Amino acid sequence: MSEHGQMLSDVGADVVLVRSVEQLTGLDGLVLPGGESTAIAHLLETSGLRPAIDRSIADGLSVFGTCAGLILLSSKILDGRSDQWSFSALPVSVRRNGYGRQIASFETTVAVQGVGEVPGVFIRAPKIEAWSQEIEVLAEHDHGDGEHPVLVRYENVWGCSFHPELTGDRRVHGLFVDSL
């Protein structure tokens, strides 16, 4: 099972690894994982999942995008490929690799509202550079250029710059699953 799958299962969710449109039926929540956003976008197109997920989000399905998943949900992508699309479900502008490239990947501690301090693993992470006042900022991080949101929520759409699935701390997944 994927790291996200393991975490979600550890906090009590029944987990399905979604690879086809049919598997979206009946879900309470969906996690869009990290990786390479252009590659994930391509897979979402070829599998037919793009329009299905688009509809599900509009119908209120809770989605949680981490890292590349956050990029896929954002309303604006900076430094994206020229043809890069997104679901445009979260009113934030993200810069791909906004915290630097591979060499600049880092681990820090992030204070999450209602949870406390959790480890934050940032890997070629997207930086939220602009955001609507309507989003709920659940955690921010100052990487030397002021506070930027790193865990946000807007209605049924959650996004996270870091990788909560790569640590032993399940509380961010718990927060999402408890909201479902």
The footprint of ligand GLN (CB under 6 A) covers 34-37, 67-68, 71, 96-97, 123-124
Q: Name which of 34 and 174 has its Cβ closer to ligand GLN.
A: 34
173 is catalytic: no
Which one is catalytic: 4, 67, 148, 160? 67
Sign of CA dihedral 81, 86, 91, 97: negative
CB of 162 to ligand GLN, least distance (A): 9
141 is catalytic: no
Element of type H or E holding 75: strand 74-78
Q: Name which of 101 and 114 has its Cβ closer to ligand GLN.
A: 101
CB hemisphere CA count around 169 (13 angstroms): 17
Contact 53, 30 (CB under 8 A): yes
CB hemisphere CA count around 128 (13 angstroms): 33
Q: Name which of 52 and 71 has its Cβ closer to ligand GLN.
A: 71
165 is catalytic: yes
* Residues forming the active site: 67, 163, 165
